[in-house]
Amino acid sequence: MKFLSNLFKKKIGSVDDILIYPEGKRYYRDAHPIRKNMIDEDAVKIIHRLHKFGYKAYIVGGGVRDLLLERKPKDFDVVTNATPNQIKKIFNNCRIIGRRFKIVHILFRGKVIEVSTFRSLPEHRFGKHDEEQDYLIKRDNKFGTPQEDAARRDFTINALYYDIRNDSIVDYVGGYDDIRNRQLRVIGNPEISFREDPVRMLRAVKFAVLLGLKIDKGTSKSIKKNVSELEKASSSRMLEEYNKIFRTWKTSLIFQGMAQNHLLDVLFKEAFEKEKKRDADFGEKFLQTRVGKRLAIADKLLSEREELTPQIFYALIFSDIVQDAILKKGGHLVASLKSAMEPIFQRLGTPKKDKERLIKVFASQDRFYHTEDEKASQNNFFRKKDFFYDAFYVFKINAIADNNDKALQCAFFWEISVRKRPVLPSGKKEGKPSRNHRRDGIDFKGRPRRERNRKSQGGSSEDKLAENSDRNYEEGQSDSSQNDDV
């Protein structure tokens, strides 16, 4: 039966069979609001220089998408037919990064502009869809045409090119209409797309929530069918996506979307096992679950300019598992916590330093109930612990979510303690931004950023370079950077 099914499936003959507009449909100034003066001036300089040397170059991805959605772009990426080595010969202030797909980071004062080469379509896109074939892309350093590059991107809304020469938008995949219709749609066959890169399923839900889009039926159906493919995704890329979600101020809504599309059957599955047993379709009531309530409170705190680290979010997700482990097992507390959490840490690929920090956070929760004045010296010692900030916010959020009066009173007692940060383990002075200092409230070194003076500090070119180069050297360049992100 499966043989007959594969036999009659459509075979793609060329890239034109995937594209809606093979020649590229252009939308000129009268059809859209984007103008060259809205584009980062350094990105414009890069494009002009590439044109000068005879190469094609466009603004691509999230920058174009966000301007059409009347949002402020996070950054602007450039795509060109120049190869990374050719780009490096033109620009002195750049470096080639990535392993899965090589891209170029061009450094300017205060920022980094990402320049990528048009990618080609994988060969399997031109064959019949085979349920048994492994389509996971592990290497992706083949260059192609603008049409191929558009066809192999993730979603239509991320595959629009902006031509600064005449303020026109070039659309090969119908992304312009999808933005106008507020629709999120995969390019080509979603069955193949999600198996090429399973992380796209998580990104689909994230984009839908953050951009106010509706996932089209074919895409949503394919997500639910291929959710098990997420187990093949690299842990480093998944952790990267989680950390991005945690700083959106909409983590609870994104997790609700993940539950509705069955992604939590694989992602963080241990934390939602009981909920799923009670109600297989608990996604519609996700915000009423204990985890949903905690994440909603965390989002609210972020919106009020509190600073929450990724470790706080992980602790909120797994708090129920930890409580069960403490109640079920006797003996040493830390040993019980490690026994309960280690299989989860192994599956998620949690870094060792984060594992140790989370165990300390969990083990110290009961300590917040001890507020006696006669133990002032012990309390001061506890306040100086490097994990105190994370542990306090986990305790406070749990107290609010559970409406626990005693815990809320204790949280109030300790509240003043978080106004001063402890001395950092590395010996750095308090308040001095680290290399990974972020404006979004989360420090990737695992430390919170204090912003009590409310003075905005812009990131340096080293910030983005460090973030992206670390990511790319670990796993290789992902679609998230090629297609931009929110």
Q: If you average pLDDT over each of 91-105, 121-135, 279-293, 310-324, which comes out highest?
A: 310-324
Q: What is the mean pLDDT of residues 215-221?
A: 95
Between 26-35, 249-258, 368-377, the lowest mean confidence (pLDDT) is in 368-377
- Point out the least confidently predicted range of 6-20, 179-193, 263-277, 378-392: 6-20
Strands (E), 164-285: 168-171, 183-184, 214-215
How is residue 29 annotated by DSSP?
G
Number of Cβ within 10 Å of residue 307's Cβ equals: 21
Contact 484, 63 (CB under 8 A): yes
Q: Does the predicted TM-score (pTM) go above 0.85?
A: no
Q: What is the CA radius of gyration of the chain?
A: 24
State the Cα–Cα distance between residues 381 and 405, nearest whole angstrom.
26
Strand ranges of the sheet holding 25-27, from the earlier edge strand across to the other edge: 25-27, 168-171, 160-163, 57-60, 77-80, 111-117, 103-108, 94-97
pLDDT at site 98? 84
Alpha carbons 436 and 450: distance in angstroms, whole number:
14
**Beta strands 77-80; 94-97: pairing state:** unpaired
Using the structure block, give the residue that is written with the tokens 């080639």: 96
Q: Quote the pLDDT of residue 123.
A: 67
- pLDDT band at residue 331 under the 50/70/90 scheme: low
Give yes or no for residue 255 having a pLDDT over 90.
Answer: yes
CA dist 226 and 237 (Å) reads 18
Which residues does the annotation mark as catalytic?
Answer: 75, 77, 154
Identify the pLDDT of residue 14: 83
Burial tier of 290 (Cβ tally within 10 Å: 0-12, 13-18, 19+)? middle
Q: What is the pLDDT of residue 247?
A: 94
CA separation for the pair 202, 152 (Å, rounded): 18
Question: How far is it, in rounded angstroms, from Cα 442 to Cα 485?
Answer: 17
Top-confidence residue, 149 or 468:
149
| Cβ contact 34:60 at 8 Å | no
Q: Which residues pair with 186 in a beta bridge?
A: 155
- The answer to whether the beta carbons of residues 57 and 80 sit under 8 Å apart is yes
197 burial (CB, 10 Å; 0-12 / 13-18 / 19+) is: buried
Q: Are 82 and 117 within 8 A, CB to CB?
A: yes
Counting DSSP H helices and E strands in the chain, the numbers are: 21, 10
The pLDDT of residue 220 is above 80: yes
* Chain centre to alpha carbon of residue 46: 27
**Domains plus CATH for the chain?**
2-197 (3.30.460.10), 306-434 (no CATH)
Q: Give the mean pLDDT of 105-124.
A: 90
Distance CA 101, CA 98 (A): 6
pLDDT above 90 coverage of the chain, percent: 66
Q: What is the dihedral sign for C-alpha 274, 277, 281, 284?
A: negative
End-to-end, the C-alpha distance of the chain in Å comes to 43
CA distance 121 to 67: 27
Q: What is the pLDDT of residues 431-465, one digit of tens each?
A: 444 434 343 444 433 444 444 443 344 444 444 43
Reduced to 3 states (helix: H, G, I; strand: E, B; else coil), residue 180 is helix
Q: Which of 465, 482, 400 is nearest to 203 (CA)?
A: 482
Dig out the tokens for 415 from the structure.
């509240």
Model confidence over 130-179: pLDDT tens digits? 555 655 665 566 899 999 999 999 999 999 999 999 999 999 999 999 99
pLDDT confidence of 20, banded at 50, 70, 90? very high
CA–CA separation, 170 and 32 (whole Å)? 12
Give how far the C-alpha of residue 91 lies from the chain's centroid of Cα atoms, to the nearest Å: 29
pLDDT at position 245, please? 97
- State residue 444's pLDDT score: 35
